[in-house]
Amino acid sequence: MKHKVMIVDDHWVVREGLKLILETDDNYCIVGEADEGVEALKLMEISEPDVILMDLNMPGGLGGLDTMKRMQEQGLLIPVIILTTYNEDELMVEGLSLGAKGYLLKDIC
């Protein structure tokens, strides 16, 4: 059984890179991608991902932490792994308190 993954990041090259990596493994399939949170929330209900890889800062749209807050409000209990360039304890703690299952820095991904 394949794990259904959604990628939420405002950088096209990051989304494409993650897709290329994940698509080489038969255990994963990409079921959706979005460049900000509002679009991601709409896709979550349609694509029913098993896990979401989400950026924190997405200018011009709803950011990762606010998206996770809305997910809680809407009862969307989908595991989130945060992918970010921000190496700040406060953001990590807030993300984990909102239910993130992991916090990975993009420079080590």
The CATH number that applies at residue 15 is 3.40.50.2300
Q: Name the domain count of the chain.
A: 1
Domain of 86 in residue numbering reads as 3-108
Look at residue 11 in the predicted model and tell me its pLDDT: 93
Question: What is the per-residue pLDDT across 58-99, written as a single tens digit (0 to 9) for each?
Answer: 988 899 999 999 999 999 999 999 999 989 899 999 999 999
**3-8 and 28-34 beta bridge pairing:** parallel
CA 68 to chain centre: 9
Give the global pTM. 0.93
Cα-Cα end-to-end distance for the chain: 24
